[in-house]
Amino acid sequence: MPVPVITPTPTISQGLFLCTYCNLLRQLVHANGQEMMRLDLFGGIGYFCHAVIETRRFDGSNELRYQMNLKMEDVKKFIEDYCAARAAGGFVIMQDTNADFYQAMNACTTSSQLLMSTLPPRVDIPMSLAVPNESLNVASVPPAVKGKPRRQTNLSAQRKRTRSLTVKDMSELWDLPIEEAARKLRICTTAVKKICRRGEVFRWPRRKLASLREKVAALKIVVSQSTDAGVRARAEVKIENFEKQIDAIYSKAR
């Protein structure tokens, strides 16, 4: 008679994920040149407990998600769906810590299919390719698996677009958040910042421009409604000053 497996339940306390019973069973790391995603699967002998998904973007922002109470029968589909979503997003696998372990455990299985059929073939990746290239602020991409034609990566396409873009192109999107501007240009926010720095624009000017325009709009209301000539004159001087500041920002893109 099989012994029932008691699966521990992790808790979240004050924003911290607490689980003292589990071990790391598998870790998958994917990257697409703009962000890196890591999936950690935790559990023990005979059970899966939970998963942690960490997203690290090259603009410096991070995100953590938790998948609780993973059942044995659901884990395979969970991994398949996760890997399919990464492939659809242009990600490539950078690391699979326990691939050899699970391949060995599949030996002499009674099923006609491998227990972990979603595992990719083992590919030896040099450390120089597995570690992000700090000089470019993007993750390196491993070579294509043998038997499959090499295709242009998102990273190489992004580099081509970056070389052709100028500060003038950026200035047309300064009214947008930098993340939205980067999506429209199909490059990462780090590349957007580098292009701006080439034109001596060291900070994305959206907030500065919005603040100046709000002040100008408010002062124009004062000019149109005030009956005091002195108040109107001072407001007009300030409007002229703020408009010069706006023009100075855009002059760097001309």
Are 83 and 182 found together in one domain? no
pTM of the model as a whole: 0.40
In angstroms, rounded to a whole number, what is the distance separating the alpha carbons of residues 113 and 91?
A: 26
Assign residue 124 a region (left: φ > 0; alpha: ψ between -120 and 50; beta: otherwise): beta
Q: Which domain holds residue 188?
A: 154-198
How many structural domains compose the chain? Answer: 3
pLDDT (tens digit, 0 to 9) for every residue of the chain, 254 residues total?
454 545 555 555 545 555 666 788 888 888 876 778 899 888 877 777 778 899 988 677 888 888 777 777 788 888 888 888 888 887 777 788 766 666 665 566 554 444 444 444 444 444 444 444 444 444 444 544 455 555 555 677 778 888 889 999 999 999 999 999 999 988 889 989 999 998 899 999 999 999 999 888 888 888 888 888 888 898 899 999 999 999 999 998 88
188 within some domain: yes
Q: Which of 59, 94, 118 is the last residue of a domain?
A: 118
Ordered alpha helix ranges (H), 140-177 = 154-164, 167-171
